[in-house]
A and B are shown apart, each in its own frame.
Chain A
């Protein structure tokens, strides 16, 4: 008899339980709905962290399971944010404009309203007309569809171009990095139609919602938790089935999978596009909580940090990615926020604001060298499951061949 999905993957249940518990306790402790122990800004930080966990799951799917080290997923994340940001900005400005035009003696025509919105939105970049890419920004439904559609399409086209010419390994990483850089540089221009380096701002104010930010932040926390839960389940479902076996096969030895008759490119493209969509959804939930989005967020470095989170958390296991993203990004906030106590060495005082990056870099090198399983590897100690040590000489001629110690165990 086929065992159910949950029975095969008990970790999903554990994860969902912990996530619900976390959401519930934050809600109870928040200012909006509970006793007010946790400040609203920290609720927002937690909500943003959940979104980062979601994109980390996507990254784990594409890197940890399929072996494509994409340095472009933050570009999709940013694009998702831009898509929702366009509607938020349009609608909020529209409400303001309609309010102010209602004071005039003659009711405004719809063209006048649109012109006034455009002047408001694009005044900072010296323009007063809506560019073509804002064509659907008046409609929430269309813009919500675009959140998935635009990054998905970009990933599809880019992935198709890259995979069909068999660009693999580090070349693909460099290529994805170049794509991210191109996109960021393009958005930095004032005439890109997305307000150049000003970005989109004021996204935390939901149009038509007068409830205080205390409550809105909780709404977003719930939405982020829901998205993370669903995204995690989807990812777990994907990797647990036959599809998952094939993509793991691609990671370990692409050529052999191809020789077995699988269309490697289609699998890779499917994973790449799907994860781009997940990343975009995470971005669409993240930026309304952050309040502002600008091209700086999409710089290649952000995507590399994403890889760092997943690597530290432990790639190749979904909860590892979540733990890595949550742990590193929260720790990063703590250190760079100046909350960590300085360490006095007598002759020199270590200020963590200055030294956190050094610590992160060195930690990262050490994790890569000595603990390739990341934090997630600790669970193996607990469950007493040990991976073979892959150090040692190759037994076969290929990179993926068994290694000395591995074969002996």
Chain B
């Protein structure tokens, strides 16, 4: 019925439009002259509707002028014009239809129309339909966005009307989608709303959930009997898990169905206002330092009628039992809420699946960061057994090398390409120097290696602080790494993280190639397993150790460039990664690159998993993760992938 009426109205409007094109805007204004001049929110609607539905191109300008308080009425004949301030107290009037200047008039001959904010809002709504059909695409987009920001029932019709003539395919799709969402919220026809709700089921967009969620918002109420005119979601049992007796009583108090409780604070206030001659209700003030005495004093006051009486738990129970408690939907239509609940459930399921996917991607990217940080350590600590506490500082040096390179090469892509081998060279040299000068003498004393490298670590950190200062230095990623790969509203991953993942995979391949396919790798493995035997086979263990350590350090430097792209480059950058890196290697299993990979994977997934369970607290996540690792080592002291037999060394 309503639809039929609307259709009729539309036809009528079309006829009117045809007529109006000949006569212009002024006659329409004149027809509603009285209510326009009166400027009241309650009565103005027909005038705005008539102007908006006139279909005249000048109507938009006219409405804008009106809303901007620039429309004037000539008192002599009651015609409306756009006014512009001229000299003195005179105004220059322009006709809306012809755009011609009619003349200049004194202010006393004119009346300014000052629409209040309510009317301006109505004008704004009427203007949306013009913007929706504006020839400028940007304006149409802006109109759509403004509707999205605050949807309103009045916008539904103009939006629907504008869909058919939309030339832009993309915008048309957007308009369709928005129309569906507005239908869900505001259409008067329940079946249309239910149909629209069912149509969006499975849609992951945030806007869909934003449109559906208000429909299923519930509020709690208490009443003597269950009302029949409300859309009741669920009836609550007082004293159950969902609604404790205390909460139920609070509901009664909130609904003015029961007197408020007398709290301990109330008692104290009541007592202190009723002190008479150093005592309250015949009990001396000095004795009022316990709850029992205070209650006695309060009871005495209540008996005297000075304060409302305390009531017991039994009273509370009785009051609660006498009422029913229920949750109602804000939305009156049960059909709509039922459909919305069902659709939301489907969406939630799909969102959950996608969140799992998102979490997995996050975990993989975190794992590749840890892997990248730990891969150098997998060589120095894992293969050589040298514990290098300065490993984190090598990462830091790599990051600073990247920063310095960017100071000389402004092009970000080129500078990163230069920075990677530079970082490798710098940290390789540093690693070789450290091996020759310090570590070589301490191969038999691993604990002292730990301490000596720690000394180097604090010296390097302070040096970096002296050179680069304490503030974070930027290492800017090339423009093509900005942004994220967006699958839908739930799943997105930034390109930098993808790049780091790729880099980690490249390093894995490189490491495997060097260890398994090159002469150096063969010598490395030989020296690690038995340096003396390797020596007697003509390998120079000193040289191999030096190169191995240099390689591990160099890879740490490259990892530093990668980490610097998304983290702040400061002198204590290395601190953030050193413990995790060691954990990665230890958990994964020493002496095996697959172990480091497994370790990084486990730590990455674990950390993200714990963060997901407790999203507000990343500190706690790290704590629990470390505790988990300590316990894990109980069961697999040699890591996930443990070397067996002779290769295990000791």
Using a CB–CB distance below 8 Å, which chain A residues touch chain B? 67, 69, 104-111, 158, 161-162, 164-167, 169-171, 173-175, 177-179, 181-183, 185-186, 188-189, 191, 300-301, 304, 307-308, 311, 354-358, 360-365, 368-369, 372, 391, 394, 399
Assuming the A-B contacts A107-B289, A364-B452, are A178 and B446 also in contact, with contact meaning beta carbons closer than 8 angstroms in the complex? no
Q: Is B461 an interface residue (CB 8 A)?
A: yes
Q: Is B15 an interface residue (CB 8 A)?
A: no
Assuming the A-B contacts A109-B290, A189-B619, A308-B451, are A361 and B457 also in contact, with contact meaning beta carbons closer than 8 angstroms in the complex? yes
Q: Contacts of A108 on B, CB cut-off 8 Å?
A: 289
Q: Contacts of B461 on A, CB cut-off 8 Å?
A: 357
Q: Contacts of B451 on A, CB cut-off 8 Å?
A: 69, 304, 307-308, 311, 364, 368
Contact of A361 among B288, B455, B579, B637 (CB under 8 A): B455
Name the CB-closest residue of B to A161. Answer: B634
Which of B191-199, B326-334, B624-632 forms contacts with chain A?
B624-632
Q: Contacts of A300 on B, CB cut-off 8 Å?
A: 579
Contact of A106 among B288, B456, B460, B633 (CB under 8 A): B288
Q: Is B458 an interface residue (CB 8 A)?
A: yes
A-B contact pairs, 8 of them (CB 8 A): A105-B272, A105-B275, A181-B579, A185-B623, A311-B451, A354-B462, A360-B459, A368-B451
Q: Contacts of A364 on B, CB cut-off 8 Å?
A: 451-452, 454-455, 458
Q: Contacts of B450 on A, CB cut-off 8 Å?
A: 69, 170, 173
Chain B positions 29 through 42: 1 when the CB is less than 8 Å from some CB of chain A, otherwise 0:
00000000000000
Q: Is B447 an interface residue (CB 8 A)?
A: yes
Q: Contacts of A173 on B, CB cut-off 8 Å?
A: 387, 447, 450
Query: Is the pair A170, B447 in contact by a Cβ cutoff of 8 Å?
Result: yes
Q: Is B175 an interface residue (CB 8 A)?
A: no
Q: Is B536 an interface residue (CB 8 A)?
A: no
Chain B positions 612 through 644: 1 when the CB is less than 8 Å from some CB of chain A, otherwise 0:
000001011011001101110111010000000
Query: Can you list the 10 inter-chain pairs with the closest CB atoms, starting with the nearest?
Result: A361-B459, A364-B455, A357-B462, A182-B626, A107-B289, A105-B272, A368-B452, A186-B623, A361-B458, A365-B455
A106, A110, A357, A364 pick with most chain B CB within 10 angstroms: A106
Using C-beta atoms within 8 Å of the partner chain, give the interface range for chain B. Answer: 35 or more
Query: Is the pair A372, B458 in contact by a Cβ cutoff of 8 Å?
Result: no
Q: Contacts of B249 on A, CB cut-off 8 Å?
A: none
CA distance A169 to B451 in the complex (A): 13
Q: Is B397 an interface residue (CB 8 A)?
A: no
CA distance A162 to B633 in the complex (A): 8
Query: Is the pair B579, A360 in contact by a Cβ cutoff of 8 Å?
Result: no
Contact of A368 among B286, B455, B617, B622 (CB under 8 A): B455
Q: Distance in Å from the Cβ of B312 to the closest Cβ of chain A?
A: 20
Name the CB-closest residue of B to A181. Answer: B579
Q: Is B285 an interface residue (CB 8 A)?
A: yes
Q: Is B441 an interface residue (CB 8 A)?
A: yes
Q: Contacts of B457 on A, CB cut-off 8 Å?
A: 361
Q: Distance in Å from the Cβ of A113 to the closest Cβ of chain B?
A: 9
B575, B627, B633 pick with most chain A CB within 10 angstroms: B633
CA distance A167 to B452 in the complex (A): 22
Q: Distance in Å from the Cβ of A303 to the closest Cβ of chain B?
A: 11
Q: Contacts of B579 on A, CB cut-off 8 Å?
A: 174, 177-178, 181, 300
CA distance A127 to B627 in the complex (A): 27
CA distance A111 to B290 in the complex (A): 9
Contact of A304 among B454, B456, B631, B637 (CB under 8 A): B454
Query: Is the pair A361, B626 in contact by a Cβ cutoff of 8 Å?
Result: no
Q: Contacts of B633 on A, CB cut-off 8 Å?
A: 165, 167, 171, 175
Name the CB-closest residue of A to B272. Answer: A105
Within 8 A of A (CB), among B435-475: 438, 441-442, 444, 446-448, 450-452, 454-463, 465-466
Chain B positions 564 through 596: 1 when the CB is less than 8 Å from some CB of chain A, otherwise 0:
000000000001000100110010000000000
Query: Is the pair A106, B452 in contact by a Cβ cutoff of 8 Å?
Result: no
Chain B positions 427 through 438: 1 when the CB is less than 8 Å from some CB of chain A, otherwise 0:
000000000001
Q: Contacts of B458 on A, CB cut-off 8 Å?
A: 357-358, 360-361, 364
Q: Is B271 an interface residue (CB 8 A)?
A: yes
Q: Is B497 an interface residue (CB 8 A)?
A: no
Contact of B291 among A111, A158, A167, A362 (CB under 8 A): A111
Query: Is the pair B447, A181 in contact by a Cβ cutoff of 8 Å?
Result: no
Q: Distance in Å from the Cβ of B299 to the closest Cβ of chain A?
A: 16
Q: Distance in Å from the Cβ of A315 to the closest Cβ of chain B?
A: 10
Query: Is the pair A167, B459 in contact by a Cβ cutoff of 8 Å?
Result: no
Q: Contacts of A67 on B, CB cut-off 8 Å?
A: 447
CA distance A108 to B268 in the complex (A): 9
